[in-house]
Structures are given as structure tokens and as C-alpha cells.
Amino acid sequence: MSGAELRPVAVLVDAYTTGNHLPIAFAKLGVDVVHVQSTPELMTSMRLPELSRYRAALPYGTPAETAERLAAHAPICVVAGQEPGVPLADELAERLGLPGNGTALSAARRDKYEMIEALRRAGVRCADQYKSGSADELVAWAERRADYPVVVKPLSSAATEGVAICSDAREVREAAEAVLGTVNIFGERNDEVLVQSFLRGEEYMADFVSYDGERYACCVWQYHKRLVGTHRIYDRDSVLPPDAGPAPAIIAYLHEVHDALGLAYGPTHAEVIVTPEGPVLVEIGARLSGGVVPDFHDRCLGGNQADLTALAHARPEEFRARHAGRTYRKLAEASMVLTSTTLDGVVEELDEEVVAEIRALESVHTFVPKVAPGKRIRPTVDLYTATAAVHLVHDSAETLARDYARVQELKDRVYRLRAEETATAGAAAAPAATDASEVAA
């Protein structure tokens, strides 16, 4: 056997978007990776896996066929790289006899209705909800409950796709009809829609890495959003200290959520709202956060979720000794900014002088424009119609605030639009996927 063939192997299922950080993280620890895709064709709505980083990329097959092919590589773990890969990763780990979360609660880790019902059965604080394939029934539930606003959303999507905050029956019907019968960003048909009670309070996100039920809290960030019509769109996130404010309560609550959903292994990305009664789950994904930028998180948090995930699976004893039961440290002031727009047209080119000015700001760590020349820029309604991702980090909160304000002044000047208003078929497609802050939940 060659030296490469003697190296341990990790299996990554659907390593789209920030899943691309995992091959690099495992390589640092001397572990090769094999890629598995859960669908016959790659999902082009997300940034594709960089397959050159893999020892092998297996053809699509049934779980039994795939497990048999993987057995030849003697893998040490199976990790979901993105949301659609969660159920298959659970099943492959189970078939191969590897540590994993098991299949008994796989549906509750993808289907947002089943997710909340699993919490309810476990006695964990959660939202009221109802699902149906009928807009009439969804409206009837909201009217019977008579406590607007309510939230309408797809059962299995991400990036706030199709999420609407509705203040009356008409808006519920319009939001439900806008989702029913469509296909989400993962290629799944929306045959049913979920309506939930509106959770009143501030919204936060938190990431964890687990191994055998022992967890490390990677971060807690506060969301800052604003309402545009029925859509709450992202503005920026701010990192919180782990031992003050709402962070300790959020971390404690999410330990309960992990236990209720059988999340004992691997990375997770959760969103919660801190209500007057305490934290309540919006949703949780059994995969990396869509906002992971490893060197940015190393700078402001003392570590990053991708490297911690690889460490937990490749060197579990080291992970336990260094991280289990602990939390991140806030090393600097930091924000993740997602710029919005009211522009609507085809991008002719990027103004490189404006891009350079943003990147030269003192606290800017990363600036990633999300709409390529030739693509259509549209008014922002969700993460996929955000126009840029900007990561700010600095010791000074004042510097961060100053640079954030300047980014807001410059954000629309990044894009020069064509004079004509109509887009070609290719330009009308969704914005090209990027890696930074792409999928939040």
C-alpha cells in the first residue's frame, strides 16, 4: 500500500458551500476524504464541492450500495457537509457501524415540523405550529389561533427561503401559495407548508460541535434584521461574550435541544429567539454553519467549527480533553454583514475601485460580492438575494461601527447595471453561489 492509502479516511456527504472547509480541516490532521452525493446530479444552487481535494468521489447509489463502496476505504466517520446530506450521513454511519446520530430521529433533523414536535415530546420549550398542503387549512389554523403575526415557511429549506411573517389571513394565504408546489434550493418539492406562532424577542444563532454527547459551544451571535414587507432580512450579526447577557441561557437551552433531537455527533447550527419565557428554537441544522470563515472565526472566537469538527472525529480524545463542556472566547469585536439592495437589473460589471475601498477599511477581514457580471441583481428578500458578505473584526467597537456605516454607503455602488432592464435567460437565474455567509440555517 502507498502512504496515502494508509491514511485514515473521513466520508463527507454533500459537502457544498461551507462544507468545502472540511477537506482542508481533515487534511491538517492527516485524514483523507471521500465524497458522497445524496442526489443523482450535483445541486448547482449551491457552491459545488471541490472534488480535487478528495481521494475519491463515489457515484450516486442506494444507501446499501454506497455503504458497500465506502467499506473498502475503511472510513473513520461520516459527516454531512450540507443540509440535504443529513439523512444519508445518518444512515451510512449506521450501516458502517460508525459513531453517528442514528436514523431514528433523522426526519426531525430535516423536517422543521417534525423538529419542533420532537422538542414538544421531550418537554423542551417550543413554538405552536401546524402544517398542511392546503392554503385554506393554514389560514383556518391562523384564524382559529387569532394571535397574529404568524410565520409561514417551507418544511425543509434554508437561507430564509420562502419565510414570511404574516399579519393577517390574506398574507398567510399569499405566503402559503407562494411556496406550495415550488421546488426549494435543495431540489425538494414543497408539497406542504408550515405555519408557526411568532416568537417575540431578539434572535440569535449558535454553533456547536459534539462527540458522543459531549459538546463545545463554538459561538453565539445576535442577529440584527429588519422587516421588508413580510420578510425579515439579514443586516448583520454581532458576536456575544459566552459568559454574559443571554449567551449562557441560550447555550444551556441548546444542550436540551441537542438531546431531544439525538444530536450527539458532529457540527450543528442553530437559531433561537429569546422570548420573555426564555430561549425558543427557530430551527437547527446538523451540519456546519453557512457563515463559517475559518481564519475569521479563529481571530474573533479562538477556533472555528470546521477544524473542531475534524478534530472531534479524527482525534476524539484530544477533542474531549481540550474542548468538551467548554465554550468559545470572545477575542475581538466582530460582525458578519449581509448587504441588501433595492436594485433590480443585470450587472454589467463590478466597480473595482469601490470594491477596493471596502476591502481597505480597517476592520474588513473579508468582502465577497455575491452577484457576478451578467447575473440579475434583485431586491433583497432572503440570504440568496443578499448582494455581498462582509466580515468585520477589530479590537475597537467604534472602528467596527464606523466601517459598517461606510459599507452601507458603498454597497450599491459596487454594482454597475446594464442600461436595458430585461435580463437574458441565463442572467435571470439565481445569483452565483458564494462561500461566505451563504446558508444560515
Q: Is the peptide bond before 23 cis (omega within 30 degrees of 0)?
A: no
Domain edges within the chain = 3-106, 128-197, 199-331, 334-417
- Give the mean pLDDT of 64-92: 96
Give every CB contact of residue 239 below 8 A, 6+ residues apart in sequence: 219, 220, 221, 300, 301, 330, 333, 334, 335
Run of H or E residues at 28: helix 21-28
Q: Strand 266-275 vs strand 333-339: parallel, antiparallel, or unpaired?
A: unpaired
Asked if residue 426 has pLDDT above 50, the reply is no
Question: 205 and 223 in contact (C-beta within 8 Å)?
Answer: yes
According to CATH, the topology of domain 128-197 is Dna Ligase; domain 1 (3.30.1490)
pLDDT at 428: 41
pLDDT at 183: 79
pLDDT at 160: 56
- What is the grid cell recorded at 383? 440570504
What does the pLDDT look like over 179-190, one tens digit per residue? 888 876 666 787
What does the pLDDT look like over 137-179, one tens digit per residue? 999 999 999 899 999 988 765 555 678 889 999 999 999 988 8
Q: Strand 266-275 vs strand 202-211: parallel, antiparallel, or unpaired?
A: antiparallel
Closest among 153, 128, 129, 103 to 261, alpha carbons compared: 103
Q: Long-range contacts: 294-299, Cβ < 8 Å, 24+? A: 294/21, 294/24, 294/25, 295/365, 296/334, 296/365, 296/366, 296/391, 296/393, 297/218, 297/219, 299/331, 299/332, 299/334, 299/365, 299/393
Amino acid letter for position 370: K
CATH, domain 334-417, list 3.40.50.2020, 1.25.10.10, 3.90.1170.30, 3.30.1300.30: 3.90.1170.30
pLDDT at 420: 66
Which residue bears the cell 453557512? 290
- Bridge partners of residue 347, in order along the sequence: 417
Please state, in angstroms and as integers, the Cα–Cα distance from residue 346 to each residue in 34, 363, 416, following that order: 38, 30, 9
What does the pLDDT look like over 325-341, one tens digit per residue? 999 999 999 999 999 99
Question: 152 and 229 in contact (C-beta within 8 Å)?
Answer: no
Question: 220 and 160 in contact (C-beta within 8 Å)?
Answer: no
- Give the mean pLDDT of 77-96: 96
- Give the mean pLDDT of 1-11: 76
User: Model pTM?
Assistant: 0.87
pLDDT at 436: 41
Question: 414 and 351 in contact (C-beta within 8 Å)?
Answer: yes
Mean pLDDT of all residues belonging to the chain: 90
According to CATH, the topology of domain 3-106 is Rossmann fold (3.40.50)
According to CATH, the topology of domain 199-331 is D-amino Acid Aminotransferase; Chain A, domain 1 (3.30.470)
| Count of H-run helices and E-run strands, the chain | 14, 19
